[in-house]
Amino acid sequence: MTPDEYCQEKTAASGSSFYYSFLFLDDDRRRAITALYAFCREVDDVVDECSDPGVARMKLGWWRQEVERLFTGQPQHPVAQALAPWLERFDLPQEHFLEIIDGMEMDLDIHDYPDFRTLSLYCYRVASVVGLMAAEIFGYEHRRTRQYANDLGMAFQLTNILRDVREDAERGRIYLPAEDREHFGVSREDLLMGRESDTMRELFAFEADRARGYYDSALEALPEADRYAQRSGVIMAAIYQRLLARMDADGYRVMTRRYRLPAWHKLWIAWRTARQEAKRASRVDK
C-alpha cells in the first residue's frame, strides 16, 4: 500500500463528511487534502483510543518528532510521507501541524471548559488551523479568505461538539462551556448522567445558534473571486448545516440519538452544491 493509498483508506473509513467534498478537486489538491485529513485522524485517534493518558502523551510526542522529521525530509509514517510533496507547494507551515497536536493534547488536560474563550482556543487548534491549511491547498487570492477558513473551522467544530455531547460525556469530557451551562441551569452531572430536559435542549439550541453564527460569518467573509476555488469548504458547510438543521428539527435530542446523514445524502448534497458553485462561478466570469 502506498502512502497515498493509506491516506485514502483512512479518510474513506472515517465516514466523514469531508471525504465527499474532496471528490470535486483536481488530483494534486485531493491527494494533499486527503493526506492532511489523515494526519488529523491519526493524532485524534491517539487521544480517543488510548485509555492511558501517559501512553497518549508519548504517542503525541512521537508525532511531534515525526513532524520534525517531515520538515527535514525524513518522514517515517505513511501519512507524513504522503504530506511531504505538498509542504512547499501549498505553503503548509510546521507550526500548524504542531498546533493541531497541541489541540489534541488539550483533551488530556481539560475535561471541562469554563468559558467559551477557553473552548475557542481548542476549536482554533483542532479545526480552524486545519481550515487555514485547507484554504492554502484549495487556493485563494484575497486575505479575507483566511478569515472565512478560520470561522468555518469554528463552525464545524461547534457542530461536532453538539452532535457528540453524549459520546464525549461517556469519555468524561464536557466541551459545552460551564458559563453556558450555568446560564441554562444544566450541571456537569446532568450531562454525564444523560439526564435530558427542556433546559438542556435550550442549552443545545443556544450552542447551535452560535455555530450558525460562525457559518454565516464565514460565508460572508469569503470573497466571490475565491469561492469556486474554496468550493470544498462550501460543500462541507452545506453538509454540516444540513446536519444542524436535522438536530434542530428533532429538538436537539442529542443525549438519546446519534445524528448522522447517510452516505447517499452527503454525496447528493456534495454533488448539488458543487453544481451550484460551478454555475455561480460561470455567471461571475461573464
Per-residue pLDDT of the chain (286 residues; tens, 9 = 90+): 899 999 988 888 766 777 788 888 999 999 999 999 999 999 999 988 888 889 999 999 999 999 999 999 999 999 999 999 999 999 999 999 999 999 999 999 999 999 999 999 999 999 999 999 999 999 999 999 999 999 999 999 999 999 999 999 998 899 999 999 999 999 999 999 888 899 999 999 999 999 999 999 999 999 999 999 999 999 999 999 999 999 999 999 999 988 999 989 999 999 999 999 888 888 766 5
Which three-class secondary structure state does DSSP give residue 285? helix
Query: What pLDDT is stored for residue 166 in this prediction?
Result: 93
Phi then psi dihedrals of residue 151, to 5 deg:
-70, -35
Please tell me the distance from the alpha carbon of residue 155 to that of residue 123, in angstroms, as a whole number. Answer: 9
Please tell me the distance from the alpha carbon of residue 151 to that of residue 213, in angstroms, as a whole number. Answer: 9
Give the type of residue at 115.
D
User: Which three cell numbers mark 61?
Assistant: 510526542
Domains recognised in the chain with CATH numbers: 1-91 (no CATH), 110-286 (1.10.600.10)
Please give the biggest Cα pair distance in the chain: 59
**Residue 186: left if φ>0, alpha if ψ -120 to 50, beta else—which one?**
beta
Query: What pLDDT is stored for residue 17 in this prediction?
Result: 73
Query: What pLDDT is stored for residue 1 in this prediction?
Result: 84
Please tell me the distance from the alpha carbon of residue 204 to that of residue 141, in angstroms, as a whole number. Answer: 37
**Residue 15: left if φ>0, alpha if ψ -120 to 50, beta else—which one?**
left
10-42: pLDDT as tens digits: 888 766 777 788 888 999 999 999 999 999 999
69-103: pLDDT as tens digits: 999 999 999 999 999 999 999 999 999 999 999 99
Please tell me the distance from the alpha carbon of residue 152 to that of residue 218, in angstroms, as a whole number. Answer: 5
